[in-house]
Every structure is written in structure tokens, then in C-alpha cells.
Chains A and B, each alone.
Chain A
């Protein structure tokens, strides 16, 4: 047990554990205690679907060996935090035990969003976020065969759940509120490609349809029997997956006095409104330097990045409080920088990469999309026109692996789009013996550019 100041971290996900690692790296004496009510060890939530499908066991999804924590003096505690007291600098557990801290990081993540649908509390209705959600789902299959399911919400978790149930031969239907799959994020062409993929797996897609209510089973009033959609359809089913988004988990900060607006408000240094209390990840809402809250980012990557910032900030603060300014100088204390933004996903067999700004309906940006003949691959470029030049601002790719570092460089350099096309080979990350997709894209670009009259969307005279 380390003998320095005590850091308590609520939550052992990517955010909490990353913060623990960075705090430990910069402060060897700090006593770091990580509390989780979900699991004994940090596991990759993104891999829950693979546990269900039998690709891996829970232990295989743990990013660090179980001995890692003891070796690095990171104490793990399995308990639920019910309240925090920033004035007393303590947290209270569900066992009524109180733990004191010198520094606190709240990284308790999010939970599935429910919208007060009638019947949402019936058996057989659940979201998919936590390990206990997975267990509930697995238990459901132990009892009896699941014939049919309805998944509410067309986003990343929804399609993962569809894939999971499909692997167990369940007849799946999906309700998507938008006019296209993941329509609040993806442009139409991308949505169409994924819809095609969904339907190819025999899953029925109901677009522009939401959930109205959930009806009980005729023979068992505690169990789900059917779903009533906003278009008035009645879809019999024995399972309803609620995947209409996630919201920050705030149950432990209810009476804490912390500034909350959707999520726990933090400045770019992950500091909350209370002294020595930090928050990061899904449960936090970043504000810019002027205190204006931004949208909550609920990604694995942003959780990791915020955890890095939090860990470094807490270590630096601890050194500063101890008067060790020399140690503070050794730490990179820069604030959270989102950078150009990036994300990836997998829709059944279609991999998705995205870099930069990729709005579904480009307003101040121009866009060009390439679609393969068999509609399995897609590349979309976004650019802005600045001072008679095209400046790359974003890219979407489906079925084509792209190099993160290269696009990060190109976005930073504001590379002209024709140059991007010309150098596309450098940005491809496809396996060796690949498919020659670059030639197809380039040919298509040159052909389409010849038809454009506007010089700002035509190929530039020189390739830089």
C-alpha cells in the first residue's frame, strides 16, 4: 500500500483505469483506489458482444493481466458509491462505509437511455451496456429459445445487439427513428450501404419508426409480448432491446453539489466545480475555456483521452499541493484537446473508419463520395473552400481501412483534395495482396471532376 495522498477513482472502465495508470506513472507514492460496482477487473466494454457470441471469454477482454494492478499499486475495490461529499472529502459506499480521499475522479460512465415507454419495465426488456446486462441476456437464453426480438434504436449498440441475436438464430427487427440508419451521424449513402448489409442478414428494418409502447405477453403479464410502434404496427416478440442511446450515470453525484447539466460539468482540465474533484469520460460534460458546455462524447477513445488528462492533472496537482514544483514541470499538463476527431465501428461485416468533421448534412462543406459497384465499400471526402483552395476537412470510409496517422497529418496540413486523391495509396491500411481499391477511387474521381464546372471543385493544376 502506497503512502502518499489518496486518489479515489469511481469507475474501472477505460477512463478510470487510464487515469489510474497516468497518475501512477507521474506519482509513484500516491495511493490509488479504484472502485467499481460492475466488475472485479477492467474489461473492454466494446467486446461484450464477442463474449456473447463465444469469440472470447470475459477474461480475454481484460486489457491488462490481473497481476498488473497489484504490481503497479492500483487497488481495486468492488463496491457501489452511493454518495460523495466534497466538503468532507469522502465517498460513501452501499455498505455504509466511508472512504476518505485527497483527490477524487468520477469516471462512472453512462447507462442506457429510456424514454418512459409504457411497459419498459417488463421482463425481457433491457439495454446492453454493462456486464450485468450481458448476464441478463445470457440468462434469457438459458431458460427457453428466443424466437423474435425487436431492437429499438439504430446506432452502434443496436447493430451490435442485432448481430449478437442473429448469431443465436433469433428473428430480429429494428426500429429506427431517422429516415436512414444512424441518420443523425451518417449521410444517406453510408446509411443505405449499412441498411443493405442489415437486410442481407435477414433483419427487418423499420425506418422512421419509433417505439410507442411495449405490451405484455397475453399469458404472462410480467413478460413482454409485443411492441407497438409509432406507426401503429404491433410487432409480436419475446425480447426488446433498448439501444436508443446512452446518458451519463449520475446516481452517485445526486446530492454532492457538483455543477451538472446533462453530465458533470468539467473544464478542459477535467476539473469539476468542487475542489480536488475531477470527472472524465462518458459521465462528464466538457466546457470550453469560456465555460460553454460542449456535446457529451461517449466514445471509447474520448474516454481514454480524458482519462489521460485527468491522470496527469491529478498527479500534477498532488505535487503542487506538496510544494514539489520540480515534479510538476515534468508532467505534460496540457488540457484536453479533441484534435481532429476520429472513430470507428463495425456493422456486421462492414468496417467503418472516420476522421475529421463528418456531418450527415454538410452545410459549409463540400463532399464527394465513391461507392463500389457491389455496394460493399465507400469513401467520402469532405472539404471546405478557403481562399481558392480546397482544404480536406473530413473522411468517411466503409470497408476500406485508412491510416489514422496519415489522415491526421493531412487534416493538420489542410491538404488539397486532389492531392489527397493523388496520394491515397499512402493512406490505405488494407492487408497485403489487397484489392486495388485506390485505382478505382482515383479513376472515379478524375472522371467526376471532369464534369464539374466550378474550378474550386475541379482538379488543381499542380499536385503538391
Chain B
């Protein structure tokens, strides 16, 4: 166990030590290996020690005694580092040390990005830029903490399949495929992100770009058709059948990180009715905003900029800055250890808003509660990362049909009496009011 901590510490110490000028002899692949492989070994070893000793069932022992899981100093420190990294990633060029010629970006370039050069050359033929580093670290986190999830939840088949799914989609469609496309001089297209989560995929500007590309014009057209099809047809149909979960906890990269790296923080989600009220306001406002911006851009494009000119462009830019970068990136991930893993998903993501509306009003998905068996213990509500008061429904014998439910299935997994089951079924009475065995 001590060796595991040593490995983790050694891996994390790499960057600070290099900044101090030590460990010069580590270069190229050796340096990257130290930076990534050592902490991974440490973390997996620790997870194995913790979870493999345990018999069937999920081990949540001691979570509320641990500062790491309850906003203690270690969590706040980690959150600060994450937030700083995201800030540097998105806004690094603009942030300069007073009295220095170097920006935060330059500093990150020399102090972090350059270590990824060997991998970048292998996968893309170029040196590592910040987006390469970001997507690689992101995929690394999903894989590493995905292994932790598999160890912790290995007795729950639904959790195992779901975790394998998010790891797969992150490594393939959200990391390697875009890199491969870029290596072939195509746009780095993400097949697992669509409008409105990646709003530019339905912007007229990018469509013209795709259509305009001379070499491999086929790819551009393919992306265009795929983007339109998936956003307008694929998403509603899949959500009607499976609910929101097919995307939010099985495919989406944001969700993938939330379910893996964010799992230790899921109990920090805000549980109050007030938070639920706020979430409905913010998420639908952002949805209306992006719909308006998209329409504006199209109108602007059709009328050749006469009517709305710079407005639509500025609105799209501000949306990208505030909503996508600041909210989705910096706050969405940086604040995991403080506010839980699904802040963006719950309060901001317009994709989630659309999926949620379909799930709430016209989908076959529900979490069935098992008659009168609920003992109101509270495990389900405590471990719901979306802050849904699952217990409220279960103790009344009602099924859970909520717009924000991402179908992660952890509530059903931690329930000690087998009261909850995620399932797809007939639309008729899916809220379970007809055969209610409690009220």
C-alpha cells in the first residue's frame, strides 16, 4: 500500500521537480512515462487494495469520514489545480504574469505540453499543441478512473458495461478518431458530440468550411449529413427508447469523465428543492440561448450579414467563451471536488436540456420502484450525482421520471433492498401511479 502511494507521489512530483530544474536526464518517452504511468499504477493499486478485498457489493465505507470526499483540504487543493489547469488551457494566452513577457500559455507549453511531444508525433506527426495535451489527459483520466470504477462496481453488470462504454467512446470517437482525421488533413471531427453541445456543428460557417474543402470533400459532406441527422433524428429516437442515459452516461465524454473521475464526488451534488428550481431555469435558458444564436447565424448567413451582421457572430463568440469554456470547462470540471461531478450537465448543458425534455415527456425510460419495499434509508438520494431526491419517489411507491436523470444506475446499485430498477417499458403509466402499493 505504501508503495502505491509512493508511485502516485513520484508521478505527481515529476512536474514540480522539472520546474525546479531537476530530473533533467528524463527525456522523451521516459519523461512522459514517468508523468503518466507512475501515477496510474499508484491509483490502480490503491483502488485494487481498497475494493478487491471486499466481497460482493459496493464499498462506500468511510466516505463521509474522509475529507477527500467531503470538501476537505485535499479536495479543495485538487479542485484548485484542476481549475487552474482549465483556466490556463482556455484563457492562457490572455493571462500574463505582471512584469513578464510570458503568458500562462507559454509557461504551460514549456512546463507541461512539451512532454507530450513523443506521443503527439506518433499519433499525429506533429508536436503536441494544447488541444492534443488536453484530449490526451482527458482520455487518460477517463481510462484510469474507469479502471477504478470497474474495480469498485465490478459486481454490478450494468455499471461494468456502462463504464466500458464510456471508456470506449472516449478513447475512440473523442480522442483517436479526431486525431487520425487531423493527421489526414481533415477537420478533427468528433462523432460523439453534436449540436447543441458542440453548437458549431450546425453553424452555417462550419458547414461552408466542410463543403468548401477541396481534398477529401467527401468527409466534409459526411460530417454535415451526420451532424444534421444525429441532432435532428437520431437523438430524439434514441432518447424516446432509452431515455437520456444512452448518451449522458454511456457515450458523452463530459459524462464519461463525470462518471469516472467524478465518481468520488458524486455525493456532493446539491440536494435541495431550491437547487432543482435553479437548474430548470438555467438549463432551459441556455438552451433557448443557443437555439436563438443558431437561428440568428443562419439568418445572418442567408441575408449575407445585412440584417444582423456582427451581432450573431459576437453572440456565438460570447456563448463559446462563457458557456462552453468558462461554464462547461473551467467550472464544469474544475469544481468536481467542491460541487460534484455533474454541474455542467445539470445546470448548463443544452443537449441535456433537450434530452431531458424528451425523457420527461415522451420516453420509455423510467426507474421503477419495487412496490412498498423502500425503507427510506437515503442511500439512493445521497449517491445521485444529479441531486435527484430518488428516495422521495421510492418511499411513495412512485417511479422516477425526471428530466435530469442520466441513468447512471448508481442509485439502484447502492439500494440495500433492491427497490430500484432502470428499465425501458411502455409509455402508459410509466410514473407508476396506477398500481401504487404505498399511497
Which of A's residues lie within 8 Å of B, judged by CB? 14, 44, 46-47, 50, 53-57, 60-63, 65, 167, 200-201, 300-301, 304, 342, 344-346, 348-349, 351, 353, 376, 401, 403-405, 408, 429-435
Contacts and interface: CB of A to CB of B under 8 A. Distances in A.
Residue among B158, B378, B417, B435 with the highest chain A CB neighbour number at 10 A: B378
Interface of B: 55-57, 60-66, 156-158, 160-161, 272-273, 368, 370-373, 375-379, 381-382, 391, 395, 409, 412-414, 416-418, 421-423, 435, 437-438
Given A65-B273, A342-B371, A342-B373, A401 B418 contact: yes
Contacts, number: 123
12 contacts: A44-B375, A44-B377, A54-B61, A54-B63, A54-B64, A344-B375, A344-B417, A348-B55, A430-B421, A431-B158, A432-B421, A433-B160
Contacts of A405: 370-371, 435, 437
A401 B370 contact: yes
B437 A54 contact: no
Contacts of A342: 371-373
B72 to A, nearest CB: 13
Given A61-B378, A167-B61, A351-B417, 6 more contacts: A60-B382, A201-B55, A342-B373, A351-B416, A405-B371, A430-B421
Contacts of B382: 55-56, 60
Given A349-B55, A405-B435, A55 B417 contact: no
B157 A433 contact: yes
Residue among A62, A345, A401, A403 with the highest chain B CB neighbour number at 10 A: A401
A379 to B, nearest CB: 14
B421 A44 contact: no
Contact of B161 (A55, A376, A433): A433
Nearest to B417: A344
Residue among B158, B372, B382, B418 with the highest chain A CB neighbour number at 10 A: B418
Contact of A57 (B64, B156, B157, B438): B64
Residue among A46, A56, A167, A348 with the highest chain B CB neighbour number at 10 A: A56
Nearest to A22: B439
Nearest to B395: A63
A54 B273 CA distance: 24
Residue among A167, A344, A348 with the highest chain B CB neighbour number at 10 A: A344
Residue among B62, B63, B160, B370 with the highest chain A CB neighbour number at 10 A: B370
Contacts of B421: 401, 429-432
B437 A61 contact: no
A200 B56 CA distance: 11
Contacts of A55: 60-61, 63-64, 379, 382, 414
Nearest to A17: B376
Contacts of A433: 157-158, 160-161
A44 B376 contact: yes
A215 to B, nearest CB: 32
